[in-house]
Each structure stands twice: as structure tokens, then as C-alpha cells.
Amino acid sequence: MATVFWTLPDELLIQTAEHLSGNDTTLRSLARTSRHLQPIAEPVLYRYVFARTGEELHRLHLTLDSVSWRSKSIHAIEVRASVVDHDSSSLVTLQDVIRVAPNLRELMLESPYCNNESWRHATVTNGWHRTMSSWLDLIVAASPSAPFDSRPYLDLPSTPSLSVRPLQYLKRLTLHLNGVEREFWTMQQEYGGILAHPTLEDLHISSINIPKDVVAYLPKDLRSPLKRLTLDEANVTLAGLRAVLSIPEALEYLYIGENRYSPHERLFPPGQKYNRLPTRNTQGLMDAIGRQKHSLQSLTYICNEITLNPSYIQSTNAPALDLTMFEALRELSVSGSSHSHMLSWCAAAKAPPRLQRLTIDELVFIDVVMEGGLLPGQPPAFIKEAIKAVPQLKQLDIVGTNENFDLSAPWLVQPRDATDVAGRYLEARKCVLRVLRPPTNTRIVRPILYGEQEQENVLMYVNDQQGFRVGLHPDDWLQSEIDSSGDEEDDTDTTSDEDDEDESSDDEDGDDEDVSEEGSSDTDTSDSEHG
């Protein structure tokens, strides 16, 4: 068998190596078999690099220097950093790795201080300021608009020659960082150059402050090929957002999640007004997002202000937003605002003309919206207004957060009836209605970091033949009560067994520590292959 394998043409050997992609142990063994197989297996082995420590990055750099095709094979680097004694200075070595990887397409960087409030240890003396600056300066240096001599942490020539600029093929960039002794980091003027990267198409940044002067250093006529922009847990100023959205030539996907879970970070840098843009300056927000009206296909906005007063629903008349200019918009998701403000996103005659999917997320008073003043057999006013505004709508998702509107409880007859009426009303208009709820009362704070897994919303109802996805129909529930009343002891035992099973399942789903440890073990194996 070994003799037959050796006689295979290189084309088949290359296909074999490609088939083994992700199986680093086998690829490493294959590369060590002979000098002939090494240049066939190693390009696949080094295509994706995962590292956690400065030592791993240092070993990787040594191996890249020794064989030229290794560095040219790297397409993706993921650094989920971990440090000993809170010292991150050794992670500066990442700069050396990236500079010798000319074909890098994807880069994901996560600070070692993101989890468990470790950002309190991200001090200047621990090297974090220098490390973070070396990472960000390297990305900024990729842009022709950034002079090399303004990057203090780069060992690069002062001549702005494209042949020596790093990251000239980068397509996707993810930055999960924090500041010096702060949970959030600030996209200061010099770091605005990240937005002007000449080849970047997908940018995901989190725990970020976006002040008004975020792109002050960039030429006003500068444009970038960016197509997807995700701002997770962000402190956003209106002027900063307007400036950010003026750079992409044709943005297609925009996700803006305001800072919800870190109130101590909402006023930094001081002296500026952050967040609550949908309620603070509705028209200003539309003008800012409107800079991408010609190309935007998907828009998600999560406001950090959730109206908790149910009377606000009736008393507030939010001005209707004119979204007719978003001619390419297909998907719209709005979260964390009041019923009135949510309706203002899809007011009649002012909705996006090609909108196909609308998501109303975290609707606190879903019971009031769906049941308030409901006439027998009539759909909720909200449903009628939504389909009137968007008659071509194909799917409406409503995610409620009120525990009294849990459709898994079959005795909640009125909520289930209201939902069913709404579903049949939309079904007649060829629109899918989905009603969901969060999986638990506590959810992982975005962004999703190393070793974490975000649970999906629980689907409670779809207006199809199956209808309710959880719980029983009230009549079935009553019949099950009658059937089980004669055998109370067995029912108790069954319930106990189910509870034990549920607890076991919950333990498996929520054991983030075990997932992290397993990931660390895999990381060590993978990294040793590159080291």
C-alpha cells in the first residue's frame, strides 16, 4: 500500500492533503515522511494558524523563517491570547509573524484581558499598551494613507512603498480588545486608518469607543471596499458613526450594538454624547446610515435603552422614519426600544421598498402589543400596521422578553389565541410569523469569546401546519392532566427523572470552563505543529 501511495502523481497527493485539511496530526506526519511530501502537506498545514501565547508565536516565526513556502501558505491567523502573570509583552511577536505572511486573508485578535474583568490588569507596566499598539499600528500601516514614520511600534522602512506594506490581501478582520486598565478601547484618530484598509471587506470590532473625531486624520475623499461592518458593545457618537459610514464605498451589512452591559464605560472618553441614537436624534441617525442607502442589504440596530414603562407605549408618538431611500435593504432587525419607536422603523408608506424580513427583538411588552385592546378574531394592531407598511414582507420575527408571554405554558389561553390569530392573518398575506423568546434569563454578553457558546432563541410559534413548537394545546394539556391523575406517583417519578435529565443537559450546555480547557488542549497540539 505504501508503494502504491508513493507512485501517485502529485495532483492526487495534493488532493489527499487537501482532504486532510483540519487533521493537523496526520498532515504533520505526512510532511515528515519525505522531502517530496513536505512541500505538499505543509501548505495545507500552515494555511490556518492558531496561537495563544507569545512563546507559540515566537516558535512559529522561527519555523516560517526556515522554509519560505510556509509563510506564503498562511491565509488565516487566529490569536486568542493568554498570558502568565498578566504580562502581555511577549505577544508583540505577532508583528514578526504577520510581516512574513504576505498572503494573509483573515486575522482574528483577542486580548488576553477580555474575560472575567481581567482588563483591570491590562496596565502599561504589564506591556499591554505596547502590545495593543503594535497590533493596531500594523493594521493601520497597510493603508497607503498612513505614513510609516507615524507608527511608533513598527520596525518598517520609512519609505511608503507598497511592496513592503503588510496585510495587502487581508479580507476579514476581527478585533476583540480592551483599553489600558479599561474594559473598552478607543478608536482614536490614528486608529481610524483601520477603516481605510485598502482590501478589507469584513470588519468586526467590539468593546469599542467611537468618538466624534475617529477619522480626523484620514483624507475626506478616502473610500474603502468594506462590505460588512459589525460594532459589538460599542459606545457610539452620532458624529463618529456618520464619519465611519462615510468611508465604505458600498456597505452591504451593518450591525450596530450599543454598549448595554458596561455602564461604567458609557461616558468615556468624556465630554461626548454616546448611544441611544434612535431616541436621541432619530433623523440624525437616519442621515448617518443613509450614506449607505444605495447598497445596504441588512441592518441591525440594538439600542441600550429599553423602555420599562408600559404607559410609554400609549403616550409616545415617535416620528416615523423615512426608510424609502434604502432601496436595497432586505433585512431589518431592531432591538431594545419602545413599541412606538419600533413601529417608527416600519411606518406605512415609509418602509424600505424591498424589505423581506423584519425582526422585532427584545419586545419587553409583547403581551401589551399582542393582546392590548384585542377584538375577537382580529389581529393585533401592531401586526396590521407592520404588514400595511411592508406588504411584500416575507417573514416577521418577534422576540418577546416578558415571562408572562411564554407560549410553552398551555394555560395562557389569551396569548396563544392572539398569536394564532396574528399568524393566520399573516399567512393569508403569504408572510411567515415566528414568535420566539430568549433561552434563559441570563445570556452571554457579546462578543462571543474563546470557549463561549451563545444559545439561540427558543422558537415558540410559526404560522404553519405545526403551529406552536413548545408546550401542548390547552385541550391536550387538560386531557393529559386527567390521564395522569390516576397515577400520581408514577407521574412524580417521571417528572423527577426529567428534571434530573434537564439539569444534566443544562450542565453540559453551560460548562464554559470545560469547553475552554478542551480548546486549550487542542490549541497546544495545533500550535506545536507550527512550532
pLDDT per residue over 130-173, tens digit each?
Answer: 999 999 999 999 987 765 554 544 554 443 444 578 999 999 99
- Please check whether residue 518 lies inside any domain of the structure: no
- Please check whether residue 24 lies inside any domain of the structure: yes
Looking at residues 259-271, what average pLDDT do you find?
85
Please report the pLDDT score of residue 39 as a whole number. 67
**In this structure, are residues 318 and 282 in contact, taking their beta carbons and an 8 Å threshold?**
yes
Place of cell 395562557: 412
Cis peptide before 447 (omega within 30 of 0): yes
244-272: burial string, b at 16+ Cβ within 10 Å, e else: bbbbbeebbbbbbbbbbeeeebbebeeeb
Q: Looking at the structure, do residues 108 and 175 belong to the same domain, yes or no?
A: yes
Please report the pLDDT score of residue 74 as a whole number. 94
- Please check whether residue 287 lies inside any domain of the structure: yes
Which of 282, 305, 328 terminates a domain? The answer is 305
Percent of the chain with pLDDT over 70: 68
- Given a cut of 50, whether residue 528 has pLDDT beyond it is no
Q: Looking at the structure, do residues 146 and 200 belong to the same domain, yes or no?
A: no
Q: Looking at the structure, do residues 332 and 435 belong to the same domain, yes or no?
A: yes
pLDDT category of residue 447 using cuts at 50, 70 and 90: confident
Looking at residues 207-219, what average pLDDT do you find?
89
Q: Looking at the structure, do residues 466 and 373 belong to the same domain, yes or no?
A: yes
Which residues on adjacent β-strands are paired with residue 206? 176, 232
- Please check whether residue 522 lies inside any domain of the structure: no
- Please check whether residue 520 lies inside any domain of the structure: no
Looking at residues 83-97, what average pLDDT do you find?
86
- Please check whether residue 497 lies inside any domain of the structure: no
Which residues on adjacent β-strands are paired with residue 204? 174, 230
Q: Looking at the structure, do residues 240 and 217 belong to the same domain, yes or no?
A: yes
pLDDT category of residue 291 using cuts at 50, 70 and 90: very high
- Given a cut of 60, whether residue 81 has pLDDT beyond it is yes
Q: Looking at the structure, do residues 218 and 358 belong to the same domain, yes or no?
A: no
- Say how many residues make up the chain: 531
Shortest CA distance to 303 belongs to which of 343, 338, 253, 272? Answer: 338
Chain Cα centroid distance, residue 335: 15
More confident residue, 384 or 329: 329
Identify the burial level of 276 via C-beta atoms within 10 angstroms of its C-beta, where 0-12 means exposed, 13-18 middle and 19 or more buried. middle
Looking at residues 61-80, what average pLDDT do you find?
90
Q: Looking at the structure, do residues 190 and 212 belong to the same domain, yes or no?
A: yes
**In this structure, are residues 187 and 161 in contact, taking their beta carbons and an 8 Å threshold?**
no
Q: Looking at the structure, do residues 40 and 56 belong to the same domain, yes or no?
A: no
Q: Looking at the structure, do residues 318 and 467 belong to the same domain, yes or no?
A: yes
More confident residue, 75 or 313: 75
pLDDT category of residue 189 using cuts at 50, 70 and 90: confident
Q: How many domains does the chain have?
A: 4
- Given a cut of 50, whether residue 480 has pLDDT beyond it is no
How far is 18 from 340, CA to CA, in rounded Å? Answer: 54
More confident residue, 315 or 288: 288
- Please check whether residue 517 lies inside any domain of the structure: no
Which of 131, 150, 179 terminates a domain? The answer is 179
- Given a cut of 50, whether residue 359 has pLDDT beyond it is yes
- Given a cut of 90, whether residue 10 has pLDDT beyond it is no
Q: What are the φ and ψ backbone dihedral angles of 234, each rounded to 5 degrees?
A: -115, 140
Please report the pLDDT score of residue 309 as a whole number. 44
pLDDT category of residue 198 using cuts at 50, 70 and 90: very high
Looking at residues 178-202, what average pLDDT do you find?
90
Q: Looking at the structure, do residues 467 and 357 belong to the same domain, yes or no?
A: yes
Chain Cα centroid distance, residue 460: 24
Mark residue 223 as left, alpha or beta (left: phi above 0; alpha: psi -120 to 50; beta: remaining): beta
- Reported as a single tens digit per residue, the pLDDT across 486-519 is 444 444 444 444 444 444 434 433 333 333 333 3
Question: In 237-356, which ranges are E strands?
Answer: 253-258, 298-302, 331-335
H helix or E strand, kind and range, residue 435: strand 432-437
- Could you tell me the sign of the dihedral formed by the alpha carbons of 206, 245, 331, 257, in that order? positive
- Please check whether residue 4 lies inside any domain of the structure: yes
How far is 472 from 376, CA to CA, in rounded Å? Answer: 22
The rounded mean pLDDT for the chain is 77
Q: Looking at the structure, do residues 15 and 72 belong to the same domain, yes or no?
A: no
More confident residue, 510 or 244: 244
Please report the pLDDT score of residue 265 as a whole number. 85
Q: Looking at the structure, do residues 14 and 109 belong to the same domain, yes or no?
A: no
Percent of the chain with pLDDT over 90: 36
- Given a cut of 80, whether residue 368 has pLDDT beyond it is no
Which of 131, 153, 179 terminates a domain? The answer is 179
Shortest CA distance to 455 belongs to which of 446, 464, 467, 443? Answer: 443
Which residues does 397 contact at the CB level (< 8 Å), separation at least 6? 357, 358, 359, 360, 361, 434, 436
Looking at residues 114-125, what average pLDDT do you find?
69
- Given a cut of 70, whether residue 207 has pLDDT beyond it is yes
**Alpha helices, DSSP H, located in 106-175:** 128-140
Domain of 216 in residue numbering reads as 184-305
Please report the pLDDT score of residue 474 as a whole number. 41
R_g of the chain computed on alpha carbons:
27
